Amino acid sequence: MTGQVVGYVRVSTLGIQLHRTFTDYASGKDTDRPELAQMVAYVREGDTVVVNSMDRLARKFEDLRRLVRELTGKGVRIQFLKAGLTFTAEASPMSQLLLNVMARLLSSSGRRSASGSGKVSPSRNPKVSTWAVGAC
C-alpha cells in the first residue's frame, strides 16, 4: 500500500495562539534535531514554548534539564501541557524539584525487554515531536 504519512497536532482552545511550530521527524534519543535547534535559536525573551509532554522535548534527564535551563535562561517560558507545568526564569525551588522528579521519571520510564536481560528499552513514542511558540 502506498500513500502519505500524516502527522496531526491539536491545540485546544485554552487561549493559546501559536505563532510558529517546529516539527522534527526523528527519534528523541538525543537533542541533535534540526527543528529543535531552530526553535531554541528562534525564541527570545518573553516567548512561551508549548510542548505537549516532557518526553517530546527530551527523553534523557540531563537533556531535558539542560534545555529547560537554556530556554528559561533566555527569558523564555516553557509550558508542558500534559504535566500542567510551566517553567520560567523566576523558577521557584519547588518548580525545580518538580522538574527534577518529572525528568527522572521520564528517563526511567520504559519497558523491560522480553529477554529478561534487565535492560530498559525506550517506550514506543511517535516519531513526530512538535514544539510550538505561542503567546499565552
Q: What are the pLDDT digits (tens) for 23-79?
A: 888 877 888 889 899 999 999 999 989 888 888 888 888 888 899 999 999 999 998
C-alpha cell belonging to residue 111: 519497558
Find the catalytic residue in 12, 108, 115, 117: 12
* Catalytic residue list contains 92: no
Q: What are the pLDDT digits (tens) for 3-15?
A: 655 555 666 656 6
Q: What does the radius of gyration of the chain's CA atoms come to, in whole angstroms?
A: 16
Specify the long-range contacts of residues 30-35, CB closer than 8 Å, at least 24 apart: 30/60, 30/63, 31/58, 31/63, 31/66, 31/67, 33/129, 35/129, 35/131
User: What mean pLDDT do residues 77-100 have?
Assistant: 80
Q: Is 33 exposed, middle or buried (0-12, 13-18, 19+ CB in 10 A)?
A: buried
Q: What are the pLDDT digits (tens) for 16-30?
A: 777 888 888 887 788
C-alpha cell belonging to residue 109: 520510564
Per-residue confidence (pLDDT) for residue 61, from 0 to 100: 82
State phi, psi for 5 to the nearest 5 degrees. -100, 125
Residues 6+ apart with CB under 8 A from 89: 72, 73, 75
